[in-house]
Chain A
Amino acid sequence: MTHENQRETNNPTVSLSEVGKKLGVAIVATAEYQEFTEAERRYQDDGHARQLLGQYQEARQTVQLMQQLRSDATQEARRLEDLQKTLESNQTLTRYIDTQEKLIALLRELNELISERLNLDFAGLTKPKTGCCG
Chain B
Amino acid sequence: MLNTELHHATEACVASVRGAKEYDAFMKAQTAFQNDPELRAIRKRFSDRSSELQTKQSTGTLTQEEINELRALQSSLNTHAVTARYIHARRRMVATLQECNRALSQELEFDFASAAAPPSCCG
Cβ of B5 within 8 Å of any chain A Cβ, yes or no, is yes
Interface residue count on the A side (C-beta < 8 Å): 44
Residue from B20, B94, B116 in contact with A107 in the complex, judged by beta carbons closer than 8 Å: B116
Query: Across the interface, do A124 and B118 meet the contact criterion of CB distance under 8 Å?
Result: yes
Give 1 or 0 for each of A23-36: 1 = CB within 8 Å of chain B CB.
11111111001000
Query: Across the interface, do A16 and B10 meet the contact criterion of CB distance under 8 Å?
Result: no
Residue of B nearest to A113 (CB): B10
In angstroms, Cα B121 to Cα A130, docked, is 11
Query: Across the interface, do B114 and A23 meet the contact criterion of CB distance under 8 Å?
Result: no
Main secondary structure of the interface of A (DSSP, over half): helix
Q: From known contacts A19-B12, A28-B108, A133-B122, infer whether A118 and B17 are also in contact, taking CB-CB under 8 Å.
A: yes
Q: From known contacts A24-B105, A110-B6, infer whether A17 and B99 are also in contact, taking CB-CB under 8 Å.
A: yes
CB distance from B26 to the nearest CB of A (A): 8
In angstroms, Cα B107 to Cα A18, docked, is 11
Q: From known contacts A27-B108, A113-B2, infer whether A133 and B97 are also in contact, taking CB-CB under 8 Å.
A: no
Question: B-side interface residues toward A, CB under 8 Å?
Answer: 2-3, 5-6, 8-10, 12-23, 27, 93-94, 96-108, 111-118, 120-122
